[in-house]
Amino acid sequence: MPSEECFVYITLPGQTERVTAGRYQLDTTRQGAAVGQFVYGRSYLERKDRVEFDPVELKIQVPPFRTTKLRGNFGALRDSSPDAWGRKLIETRLGNPSPSEIQYLLNSPDDRAGALGFGLNVQPPAPVRTFNKTLDLARLIEVADQIVAAEKDPAAAAPAGADAEQAEALMRAGTSMGGARPKATVEDEGALWLAKFPHRDDRWNNPRVEHAMLTLARGCGISCAESQMTTIGDKDVVLIKRFDRNKAEKGYHRSRMVSALTLLDADDTPDTVDKRQKWSYLLLADEIRRAASGSQSKDLPELFRRVCFNALISNTDDHPRNHAILAKDQAWSLSPAYDLTPNPMIALERRDLAMAFGNWGRYANRLNLLSQSERFLLSKEEATAIVDGMKATIGESWYRVCRQVGVSERDCELIRSAFVYEGFGYDLADPTIATDDAEELPTTRPR
Ligand SMILES: Nc1ncnc2c1ncn2[C@@H]1O[C@H](COP(=O)(O)OP(=O)(O)OP(=O)(O)O)[C@@H](O)[C@H]1O
Ligand SMILES: [Mg+2]
């Protein structure tokens, strides 16, 4: 059975240096199935300041953990791995279209979300203190554009196993941060930022519209990642301040970070009824209650506001990797909101968010939002005030906010139909409105 392994390091709360926390081993059976095992090291378990990697799977326990899900990966480790964009860069650099999970972990830079790190030595290497600077953005965008061009036209692609200079450029442009859009981590003004670039297939100025949506969400009382725009040549880039890193005297403090995908024990592709059932804000609310009991009274109404906001801007890309919990010290709590994108659609009657949140499943509708407000610790009256207040704010201000942050008139027209669409206000008691594909209400998962 071929086997690979690596050590897993962690930057503990209040520290800037890493310590070794455990060992991850990945075996492939003769039938080709991947089996992952993780064990916390004894010296780590003996530390008074040890912390769990996540509150649902790799909790502090002595027996080794074993998984056959996710190509043998554990949720908390997968959350630390590069995703579609970062993987593409590694595949190009290695000239290997399908590296193993461990190879992705070992070949990805240490800008990864959260507090974990990976390596082949028992002792963690000294942290690399240099990050790309905002000054490097021009070069980083150039590399990103080349990767996108090569994807579109493989004939023009760099040969597999790019030459040394290209590999070096790819390495510098690489990121362990998740998501599919071209991006890089850069350092500026004593902080780390996630820089999100334009993509040549974008129908409008995505970076600027993302900045506008974060600004609009802030105006709706939602706690959001800080963002600012920067322009490199003729390209707009949105800089999203990393909320999992805080500058300290000797480096960065790191918060642990776990996606809702991990919290829900869910799959990236919800292609079966069972998998789809887990994509649920209601179940997420239950998990947050369990994992973040200290902050649930703040976090659950906040989550409700985000669902409401997503419904009002038709953000149908609100999948479980676009939500996370954070732990700066011991306690977990909901992370600030990020990756908010409007999706202008033709459908006027019904639009569905990615995750279910009420009696009518994912239907982005006012009554659906109100139908399960208690699960978010809100009375009907409180929920009604939030929904109606936000509907008014977004209806009145989306255009002004967009224009204020420089979204063009043309782009505003392109995204206009995303905001406060007609079906949001439909009366679901009306039998003429199609509700037959409403999904069954998910119930709390037994643990
Ligand atoms: N401000 C932030 N601080 C720390 N981590 C962040 C921040 N913003 C995003 N992330 C992490 O980076 C990942 C990628 O960011 P984001 O979702 O914005 O990218 P994307 O490419 O637009 O994603 P998608 O594939 O969902 O469109 C997120 O899933 C989250 O784990
Ligand atoms: Mg995302």
* Residue 134 CA, ligand 1 centroid: distance in Å: 18
* Gap from CA of 46 to ligand 1 centroid (Å): 34
Taking the CA of residue 241 as reference, the ligand 1 atom at the shortest distance is 1
Q: What is the pLDDT of residues 242-270, one digit of tens each?
A: 999 999 998 999 999 999 999 999 998 99
Opening angle at CA 177, ends 171 and 183, nearest 5: 70
Select from 134, 86, 333, 131 the least CA-distant residue to 252: 131
Hey, what domains does the chain have and what are their CATH numbers?
3-119 (no CATH), 132-241 (3.30.200.120), 255-425 (1.10.1070)
Q: Which residues surround ligand 2, an ion (CB under 5 A)?
A: 179, 322, 339
- 3-state DSSP call for residue 170? helix
Whose Cα sits closest to atom 30 in ligand 1? 178
Tell me, using a 6 A CB cutoff, whether residue 181 lines ligand 1. Answer: yes
Lowest-confidence region among 57-66, 86-95, 148-157, 427-436: 427-436
For a ligand 1 pocket test, name from 339, 340, 341, 353 the mutation site with the most ligand atoms within 8 angstroms of its C-beta. Answer: 339
For 373-430, how does the pLDDT look when each residue is reduced to its tens digit (9 = 90+)?
999 999 999 999 999 999 999 999 999 999 999 999 999 999 999 999 999 999 986 4
Ligand nearest to the CA of 210: 1
Where are any strands of DSSP class E within 255-348? 256-259, 324-327, 333-334
pTM above 0.95, yes or no: no
By the 8 A CB rule, do 84 and 179 touch? yes
Residue nearest to atom 8 of ligand 1 (CA): 338
Q: Is 359 helix (H, G, I), strand (E, B) or coil?
A: coil
Q: Are strands 116-119 and 183-188 parallel, antiparallel or unpaired?
A: unpaired
For atom 3 of ligand 1, the residue with the nearest CA is 242
- Atom 6 of ligand 1, residue of closest alpha carbon: 242
Q: Which residues of 147-162 are buried (b: 16+ CB within 10 A; e: fewer)?
A: bbebeeeeeeebeeeb
Question: What is the whole-number distance in angstroms between the Cα of residue 419 and the centre of ligand 1?
Answer: 23
Give the number of the atom of ligand 1 that is nearest the alpha carbon of residue 182.
Answer: 21
pLDDT 10s digits, 3-31: 899 999 999 999 999 999 999 999 998 88
